[in-house]
Amino acid sequence: MYSKWKPALFTGMTVTCLGIVFIIISVIAVILNESNGWPFFIMLVGTIMALIGIPIIITGRIKRKRYYDEQSMKKVLAAKMQREKNSMEEWISIVYPSLLFKLNVPTDAKVVKTYTGNIPMDQARLYDQGIHYIWVADSNLKLLPRLSERYIPSMPTEVLNSTFVHISIPLNEIEYYYISGERYRETKISGGDGGGISIGGALVGSFIAGDVGAIIGSRKASTPLSSEMVMHDSRETVLCFFQNGTRKTMRFRYEDIQVFDDLIPEKNHIIVTEVKRQTLIQSSIKAGEPIAITAQIRELAGLRDDGIITEGEFQTKKNELLTKM
């Protein structure tokens, strides 16, 4: 808008200069005693042109000032954005890594997203929502919320002195992790509703063809049937652990199961269940009197009935016990 100040200023100056020239010519003519009337006409035209040109000049100068102010503001904003970009790059490449090092976060720490909020509201703006670094150290599973790279602290001490919310879970307090939820497809069908009733159509039809026209006109065109395949995915990774004797859970993204498989594969629910099953089987096989062996067979039968061991495993252990009688 303001970049068009040059044509306005040029036009205004041209018109004003021509008007002044006409006025000067008419004044000279009057001085030379020209009395046929044309000097006054020229003076009138020149005055009008000057009166038109001067506002155009003023408008052009205002536009020029605004244009230069706009360009100056753009330069200021560009310089500010460049400083912010440099500050961001410095923050990401220097300050942030040194801060993570200070907090004992290893360079190979993995990243997960938890849906369990544990960050105080006054610090929430500093962090990526739900994103945590996760690693294993000193027989503990450790999590630390990740600072947002979009946040450039105006005062570095604000971040350096922040109370970081560490989560430290002893490995022996972790029960297991597993996949919860399901993924399925749903077909949504729409249309074919018969159209409904149109009041306007009924009135028009009644005016043209009476009652029959009203009935026909009231019918809306039915919408065609259409189907849409919708995918639903409610799967998530659930971590179960104990804290001060109380069972706790944390929920993560479904794809984070791979992170836990890499860090604590022995806590996978499938592996934990299998270990418990084998332990129960081994503890059920004890050397002892026939009465004790019979009780052990009954225990194995109970494990079989509960689905913990298979029929084949039950028969094998049963035969082993029977040979000891």
pLDDT digits (tens, 9 = 90+) for 85-127: 666 566 556 666 777 777 788 888 999 998 765 544 444 455 5
Q: Is residue 178 part of a domain?
A: no
Q: What is the pLDDT of residue 95?
A: 64
Do residues 44 and 105 share a domain?
no
Do residues 142 and 198 share a domain?
no
Do residues 27 and 48 share a domain?
yes
Q: Is residue 209 part of a domain?
A: yes
Pairing of strands 183-190, 174-180: unpaired
Do residues 194 and 216 share a domain?
yes
Greater model confidence, 119 or 36: 36
Greater model confidence, 61 or 123: 61
Contacts of 205 (CB under 8 A, 6+ apart): 212, 213, 214, 215, 216, 217, 218
Do residues 103 and 150 share a domain?
yes
Greater model confidence, 49 or 174: 174
Q: Is residue 68 part of a domain?
A: yes
Chosen domain end from 84, 104, 132: 84
252-271 average pLDDT score: 94
Q: How far is CA 281 from CA 148, 293, 295, in A?
A: 50, 13, 13
Q: What is the pLDDT of residue 31?
A: 73
Chosen domain end from 84, 114, 138: 84
What confidence category does residue 259 fall into, taking pLDDT thresholds of 50, 70 and 90?
very high
Cα gap 308→277, rounded to integer Å = 6
- Count of domains for the chain: 4
Q: Is residue 213 part of a domain?
A: yes
Cα gap 14→50, rounded to integer Å = 10
Residue 260: count other Cβ atoms within 10 Å of its Cβ.
22
Q: What is the pLDDT of residue 192?
A: 54
Q: How big, in percent rounded to 5, are the helix, strand and coil portions of the chain?
A: 55, 20, 20
Using DSSP's 3-state secondary structure scheme, residue 137 falls into strand
Domain containing residue 26: 2-84
Written as six digits, the tokens of 312 are 């084949």
Q: What is the pLDDT of residue 155?
A: 42
Cα gap 252→222, rounded to integer Å = 46
Do residues 102 and 152 share a domain?
yes
What confidence category does residue 159 fall into, taking pLDDT thresholds of 50, 70 and 90?
low
Do residues 131 and 71 share a domain?
no
What confidence category does residue 169 fall into, taking pLDDT thresholds of 50, 70 and 90?
very high
Q: Is residue 239 part of a domain?
A: no
What confidence category does residue 4 fall into, taking pLDDT thresholds of 50, 70 and 90?
low
Q: Is residue 265 part of a domain?
A: yes
CA 157 to chain centre: 28
Strand blocks (E) in the chain: 110-113, 127-137, 140-147, 167-170, 174-180, 183-190, 226-233, 236-243, 246-253
For residue 48, which amino acid is it?
Answer: I
Do residues 64 and 102 share a domain?
no
Residue 229: count other Cβ atoms within 10 Å of its Cβ.
8
Cα gap 164→106, rounded to integer Å = 16
171-184 average pLDDT score: 92
Using DSSP's 3-state secondary structure scheme, residue 116 falls into coil
Written as six digits, the tokens of 34 are 């020209």
Q: Please check the confidence at residue 277 and state whether its pLDDT lies above 70.
A: yes
Nearest-CA neighbor of 284 among 276, 296, 273, 295? 296
Written as six digits, the tokens of 44 are 């009138």
Q: Is residue 238 part of a domain?
A: no
Nearest-CA neighbor of 151 among 113, 112, 74, 95? 95
Written as six digits, the tokens of 129 are 């929502």
Chosen domain end from 192, 214, 233: 233
124-148 average pLDDT score: 79
Do residues 41 and 106 share a domain?
no
Do residues 18 and 57 share a domain?
yes
Do residues 27 and 76 share a domain?
yes
Q: Is residue 111 part of a domain?
A: yes
Q: Please check the confidence at residue 206 and state whether its pLDDT lies above 80.
A: no
Do residues 163 and 202 share a domain?
no
CA dihedral 242, 247, 250, 254 (to 10 degrees): 100
Q: Please check the confidence at residue 191 and state whether its pLDDT lies above 80.
A: no
What confidence category does residue 77 fall into, taking pLDDT thresholds of 50, 70 and 90?
confident
Residue 91: count other Cβ atoms within 10 Å of its Cβ.
19
Per DSSP, the chain holds a count of helices (H) and strands (E) of 9, 9
Q: What is the pLDDT of residue 120?
A: 46
